[in-house]
Amino acid sequence: MKHPVRVLGVDDWAMRKGQKYGTILVDLEKQKPIDLLPDREADTLQKWLEQHSGVEIISRDRASAYSEGATKGAPDAIQVADRWHLLKNLTDALKRIMDKHNKASRLAAREIAIKRRKEQGLDPIIVKNGEDIGQVTPKKEVKKPPLKYELMFEQVKALQKQGFTRNAIAEQIGISRRTITRYYQYDSYPERAKREFPLSTVAPYGEYLRKRWNEKEFNSLQLWREIQEQGFTGSSNAVHRYLKKNFDKQTNSIIALDLKVYSARKISFLLSRGKDKLKEKEEEYLKYLFKHCPEAKQANQLALRYREIIVKKKAKLLSVWIEDAIESGKQILQGFAKNMLKDYDAIYNACSLKWSNGQVEGQVNRLKNIKRQMYGRASFELLKKKVLSDTS
């Protein structure tokens, strides 16, 4: 490196995903990578900074190793937390909140489905096989054997209680530090969100099909031909499946509307978006969700304030927001806010300075492409030469 770096971007990249990671260093003013480090340890970054004086600003993600290494290696440098990671940390916290409110989410979907049926002039009670399918009813618990990841989670929590570090746990169990950090945030194993299936391609023609069904036209091929004339391009099998699922030949009426229950991950994104960024259906969903889950409404209000502070760089409002989150009485929001206090200066700088790690993320993607071209078989030194060769 011929010229000193004034503004440095720091982030990790995977040598072997989930097992081994390195660090990429980028000159943010020149928008060029200047070095690769063989790991993401605090000592390694510290030594590099001690050998390269002149760094005034360090933009980094919120990994504690980078914070420690930057503090020891360049104590006078201004540290800036990456804004993208700050927003991602928020949606992760919101997801953990909504993981506990699946029932409220389902009740919101049920009310919307009932409303739709009333608008279509149908019975407001959604009945299938003699049951109200929207009602949340207790099911007989069937004990399933624990999954591989549940066992891993239990191991991590046990070692955490014994005082083992993240690095020691990673070596012992063989999973990434990122996964371990995620497990630290939960008291019990987080269930994976159920996959959301797209609506049937026949759905836009549902009103017409209902009308024809009530006129006692039960032939799926005939109905398929009719909606083809209206622009439907799907198969006759799709129409047959739709009729079988949604209509009852015995009673000559619709059995049920689809209950579209949003996953906790989906809701976490909606809660962190402004009203002007929501679709009409999403806004309606949140309206009914807030009715059944006041905690979601409170989280939404705090999330929108937080996003505005980060995106519009209103650093002066940061300390007030942290106080409000701690006083909210909600454990997850309190933990999120208290964790911010540990890295307060870097987060404050992210809300007031223009520097961030967007450029570094771009260089990480470039590095990945080069690594793929080398089929992952080249040594670290050869990869480093290749990544830096076009930027010297």
Which residue, among 312, 320, 384, has the nearest Cα to 352 in the 3D structure? 312
293-320: per-residue pLDDT in tens? 999 999 999 999 999 999 999 999 999 9
In the predicted structure, residue 2 carries a pLDDT above the cut 80: no
Helix, strand and coil percent figures for the chain, each rounded to 5: 55, 10, 35
Residue by residue, what is the 3-state secondary structure of 338-367? HHHHCCHHHHHHHCCCCCCCHHHHHHHHHH
Q: What letter represents residue 175's amino acid?
A: I
Q: How far apart are CA 258 and CA 110, in angstroms?
A: 9
Which residue, among 277, 271, 347, has the nearest Cα to 313 in the 3D structure? 347
Of 14 and 17, the structure prediction assigns the larger pLDDT to: 14
pLDDT band at 275; cut points 50, 70, 90: confident
What does DSSP assign to residue 192? Answer: P
| Structure tokens given for 317 | 């409002």
Task: Mean pLDDT check: name the lowest of 117-126, 178-187, 209-218.
Answer: 117-126
Q: How far apart are CA 167 and CA 181, in angstroms?
A: 11
Contacts of 299 (CB under 8 A, 6+ apart): 94, 97, 271, 330, 333
Of 145 and 382, the structure prediction assigns the larger pLDDT to: 382
| Mean pLDDT score, 30-40 | 91
| Mean pLDDT score, 230-253 | 77
Q: How far apart are CA 366 and CA 344, in angstroms?
A: 31
Handedness of CA 268, 274, 277, 281 (dihedral sign): positive
111-149: per-residue pLDDT in tens? 888 887 777 776 655 444 444 444 444 445 555 556 777
Q: How confident is the model at residue 44, as a pLDDT?
A: 93
Which residue, among 65, 23, 79, 95, has the nearest Cα to 355 in the 3D structure? 79
Q: What's the distance, CA 77 to chain centroid?
A: 31
| Mean pLDDT score, 351-356 | 90
CB-side neighbour CA atoms (13 Å) of 131: 6
Show me where the domains of the chain are located.
7-82+356-389, 145-194
Q: How confident is the model at residue 316, as a pLDDT?
A: 93
Which residue, among 340, 361, 339, 363, has the nearest Cα to 351 in the 3D structure? 340
Q: How far apart are CA 203 and CA 218, in angstroms?
A: 17
| Structure tokens given for 87 | 């927003």
Residue by residue, what is the 3-state secondary structure of 124-171? CCCEECCEECCCCCCCCCCCCCCCHHHHHHHHHHHHHHCCCCHHHHHH
Q: How confident is the model at residue 377, as a pLDDT?
A: 67
Q: How confident is the model at residue 135, as a pLDDT?
A: 46
The class level of CATH for 7-82+356-389 reads: alpha beta
Of 249 and 259, the structure prediction assigns the larger pLDDT to: 259
Q: How far apart are CA 203 and CA 227, in angstroms?
A: 11
Please give the span between the terminal C-alpha atoms of the chain, in angstroms, as a whole number.
8
**33 DSSP β-pair partners:** 26
Q: Domain 145-194: which topology?
A: Arc Repressor Mutant, subunit A (1.10.10)
pTM, two decimal places: 0.65
Q: How confident is the model at residue 123, as a pLDDT?
A: 60
56-82: per-residue pLDDT in tens? 999 998 778 899 999 999 999 999 999
Q: If phi over 0 gives left and psi between -120 and 50 gives alpha, with beta otherwise, what is residue 127?
A: beta
| Mean pLDDT score, 218-234 | 90
In the predicted structure, residue 345 carries a pLDDT above the cut 90: yes
Q: How confident is the model at residue 106, as a pLDDT?
A: 87
Three-state DSSP state, 181:
helix
Helix (H) or strand (E) holding 254: strand 253-254
Q: What letter represents residue 136's amino acid?
A: V
Q: How far apart are CA 306 and CA 294, in angstroms?
A: 18
Q: How far apart are CA 360 and CA 289, in angstroms?
A: 38
| Structure tokens given for 52 | 């390269």
Q: How confident is the model at residue 142, as a pLDDT?
A: 53
